[in-house]
Structure 1
Amino acid sequence: MKTIFAPGCELKRSKKELVGTLESYLVKHHTCSLEKTKCCSVDTNFKDTRIITACPGCHKVYLNTNSSTVSLWEIIDNDVEYKFQNYNGKELSIHDSCMFKNDDMKNQFDIVRSLAKKMNLKIIEPEKTRNNTECCGEKYVNDLPEEEVLEKIKYRANQMPVNDVLVYCMGCYDNMKKANKNPIHLIELL
């Protein structure tokens, strides 16, 4: 079975260098091929393929294909030789991706927190978190006027107890930034 890395379109565009570093890690330590994926919404023919994802939306899409799907976060969390940074107890809020509010994926909440703990980050949980998380506003973009979407984005962002917000979804990253929070993508900490 071949293994490929599907980081997600927006993450690939926005954090290209970091994605490249993690891709090199996966090739070296996890026999990942350098085969490139297209957008998950059009690239779904992955029979007998193990797909490593870094985007919650892509993860959800690939779970419904004939592939074996695992998150990058799970791969790194299980790698006993991975060299984690030490952030000396830095406090961060966390905004969980609403894409993982599913029985097949809710273990990702624990995995992300495990990674944070291994990096000596102190997570300050908002009231609505994990399986009770609210959308950052991304899901409303196509259905509501722009002003209403921005209101929802600000409403959710204002629920974060600390201005620095750990995210692992680029939609959440962009929306926390729009609401004047300081989003930090998990990939930036690894």
Structure 2
Amino acid sequence: MTQWSGSTQHPETFDTAPQVVAVSRAAGHDFSKPVCARIHLLAGLGVEGDAHSGVTVQHRSRVAADPTQPNLRQVHLIHAELLDELVGRGFKVAAGDLGENVSTRGLDLLGLPVGTRLHLGETAVVELTGLRNPCAQIEAFGQARGRAGLLAATLDHDAAGQLIRKAGVMGVVIAGGEVRAGDLIEVEWPPQPWAALEKV
């Protein structure tokens, strides 16, 4: 496990309080998820009515490898700042397009350590397990929207040359509840020592 050396940015360093800006779900294994008014998180499972909800892994490639693996990817969160960046580079993307369940703003998701708990809305709590590993489906989506290079645009490198995966984070549901756009996000930091998020 990699020692955490991520962001020390606390929510108060952003211009606005961290919040949910959109929520999405899809019953089928589609790449994108349509935005909806609200989603309901189920403890230990994920998003009610979403194809990736379950105690064991639900992503098809992982099911094929070992269907008994625990589902560490129950909820997918993306920072809306990434979507802003991609739009600024000419890509046609919006909330839910990259398959996320929750789009956030005002929070450095990628810089949080493993085990961080995000309190969403009144009762829901999601514990971060790792990074989403961008795949070829992202590139196919971008090409279908008229522009190649979307996969590369969701990757970067730090000053030491280490790969940065920017396509969001994954988590498991610790406490259930309803989540909707406009809900505030409270960050609960895990006990130290902290470990950096890695692909999961």
Q: TM-score, normalised by structure 1?
A: 0.26
**Structure with greater proportional strand content:** 2
Q: TM-score, normalised by structure 2?
A: 0.25
